[in-house]
Amino acid sequence: MRVFRLLMPLATVAILSLATACGSKDKNREVAASSADSTEVAAESVDEAPAAVIELAKGQSLDLTSGKPVVIDFNATWCGPCKMFAPTFEEVAAENAGKALFYSVDVDVHPELAAEYNATSIPLVVYIPADGANVTSKAGLQTKEEFAASVSELLK
C-alpha cells in the first residue's frame, strides 16, 4: 500500500509531462507553419472584403443611420446555444452581405446595449428595418432556415 501511495503521484507527474511535451510539439509545428505562411496571409488580408459580421468591440456602437436594415445577435462566450448559433449567423450574414448590417454583440461587453434591447435571454436576434420602425426579436437557438427566412422578411 505504501508503494502505491509513492508511485501514484510519480506516475501522474510522468503522464502530465508527456501530455505537455506532446502538446508543445504540435504547437511548435503550428507556429512554424503559420510563420512560414505569414507573408501569404498578409498579402491575402489586404485584398479581403470586410467581414460580413461586425463584432462590436468595447467602446463601439451600432450604426443605425446607414439606411440598411440591421440584424443584431446578442450572445456571450459562455453560452452554449450562442456558440451553436454563431456559424449559422455568420453564414446567413455572408449570404446577405451588403444588404444589411450584421452585428455580433457580447452581452458581457455591452450590458447597456443588452438592456436597451431587452436581451434577458440569449441568443437573441434583433431585427431592425432600415426605417427603424417595427423592431422585432427572437430569442433562442434558430435553424438556418428559420433565421434566413427572418432575414429575408426584413429585407423585403
Verify whether residue 82 is a known catalytic residue: yes
Evaluate if pTM is beyond 0.85.
no
Q: Which of 60, 79, 109, 130 is catalytic?
A: 79
| Cα(30)–Cα(36) distance, integer angstroms | 10
Segment 138-143 mean pLDDT: 96
Q: What is the pLDDT of residues 8-17, one digit of tens each?
A: 555 444 444 4
Q: What is the pLDDT of residues 43-65, one digit of tens each?
A: 343 344 567 999 998 989 898 88
Q: Which of 76, 82, 107, 119 is catalytic?
A: 82
Q: Which residues of 68-105 are buried (b: 16+ CB within 10 A; e: fewer)?
A: bbbbbbbbbeebebbeebbebbbebbeebeeebbbbbb
* C-alpha pair distances (Å), 52 with each of 22, 23, 92, 130, 147: 37, 34, 9, 17, 15
pLDDT band at 38 (very low <50, low <70, confident <90, very high): very low
